[in-house]
Amino acid sequence: MHIMNTIKCVGTVLAVGVLLIWFGQYATRNERCMKKKARRTLRNLENLMDDVHYLFK
């Protein structure tokens, strides 16, 4: 049961991250700032996925 909650949480975080990136691209036209934030978000999501992958080893 704990593993399923973890997987749901990771899925939710990924979905929110993708939606934030998508919304950010269309909401503002300051590309330099948005690219920086998108890179940071993707880096954080990558770190989260690495942590989850490590948990299942």
Q: What is the pLDDT along the chain (57 residues), one digit of tens a residue?
A: 677 788 878 888 888 888 888 777 666 666 667 678 888 888 888 888 888 888 887
Task: For the full predicted model, state whether its pTM sits above 0.85.
Answer: no
Decide: 34 and 28 in contact? Cβ < 8 Å: yes
Q: What is the pLDDT of residue 36?
A: 81
Decide: 3 and 49 in contact? Cβ < 8 Å: no
Q: How far is CA 11 from the centre of its chain?
A: 9
Q: What is the pLDDT of residue 7?
A: 81
Decide: 16 and 40 in contact? Cβ < 8 Å: no
